[in-house]
Amino acid sequence: MFTVAIGHSEDIDSADAIEEVLEQCREELGDATAQAGILYASIDHEYGELLEAINRAHPEIELIGCTTDGELSSRMGFLEDSITLLLFHSDVIDIKAGFADHLPDQIDTSIAEAVQATVARLSQAPKLCIMHPVSITASGSAILERFKAALGEDFPIFGASAGDRWEFKQTYQFYKQEVHQNGVGFLVFSGPLHFGAGVSTGWVPKGNLHTVTRVEGNVVYTIDEMTAVEFYQQHLGEHVDTLGDYPLAIFEDGENGPFYLRAALMANVEDGSIVFAGDIDHQASVRIMTATTEQIIAASEASVQQSLQNFTGKQADIAICFSCSGRKQALGTRTGKEYEQLRKSCPDIKVCGFYGYGEISPLQTGTPAKFHNETFVTLLLGTNE
């Protein structure tokens, strides 16, 4: 048996909101106690109060979560300033939560030790990981690389970075009854779990393939030996105030191969550099991308269709969706259309997810996970029961 329950509330009072959410989950779980869960909460809530209530209702729950820039569920669709809770109960799937703190200062030891300790508590070999790392103050790309080193290069890892409603001040991560500011919470699943994933952006190439010739982490200084600002000006004109609408695509197998995106955040006109929302490798092959709102919206449905095609079981029990705050900014009042498109493809599957500051998923099944921007990720979970 593998049962999932979802609660969602837009009540601004944390005590009332979590009471409503837990009651909704009780309706779906019955008398069963959840073994694991994920909480997504708007930045304005009292997180300690939320976590205490969840742990009181479900003692010893393996719980993680984070703050967001928008929430979605099959109960209420897309909302802002709400909380949504996803609970798992199973007698065949084992799920354990872990947490790595003190990032980025202790990134190597903290992640390695946390993953090792969490996997050791599983009854079977690990099969899949969902993670929600800190953003703004630490590199999501670097955090993901440490997880791949601990779990295996091709191990299926999914998730998204925490958000703070586009304020870019401080995000929070949850672990059991604890609230953190500089860590990554994660769930590791084992047992006869089936899954399928889809990744889609809606962005299409604008121009030819180019090479990053100087970069430090997420700051690109030169592309094809011209400054990053000059490179963008070559494509967009003298004004680069709209560069956020034109992410870079990173191609690893030539211009016709799969790609992942890096969103441009801000330009430094003094040295010509551009800061991106994720690390970029030296000598990376890149192209500027563009998209209409219709293409962005359609990508959410494409992501779900891919996940359905890739699902290895008979029937999925839950679709966990991770979308980018950059997509939300681009869509504005049409953001809810993403969820509407999603439901066209999976009207009978429960849905839970949020908008964050970077998405995590392999580009294709069996390949290493990547850190994405401007991307819609769908993860289906279920068993063959």
Secondary structure (H, E, C), 205-216: EEEEEEEEEEEE
Question: Mind giving me the DSSP string for 225-250?
Answer: TEEHHHHHHHHH-S--TTGGGSPEEE
Residues 158-193: pLDDT tens digits? Answer: 999 999 999 999 999 999 999 999 999 999 999 999
Q: Is 61:39 a contact under the CB 8 Å cutoff?
A: no
- Asked if pLDDT for residue 241 goes beyond 90, the answer is no
In sequence order, which residues have a C-beta less than 8 Å from that of residue 114 and are 6 or more positions away? 98, 99, 100, 186
Query: Between β-strands 173-175 and 204-216, what pairing exists: parallel, antiparallel or unpaired?
Result: unpaired
Query: b/e map of 332-350 (b: 16 or more CB within 10 Å)?
Result: eeebebbbebbbebbeebb
Residues 20-54: pLDDT tens digits? Answer: 999 999 999 988 899 999 999 999 999 999 999 99
Q: For the chain, what's the residue count?
A: 385
359 vs 247: CA distance, rounded Å: 14
Asked if omega into 104 is within 30° of 0 (cis), the reply is yes
Residues 277-295: pLDDT tens digits? Answer: 999 999 999 999 999 999 9
Q: Percent of the chain at pLDDT above 70?
A: 99
Whether the model pTM is above 0.85: yes
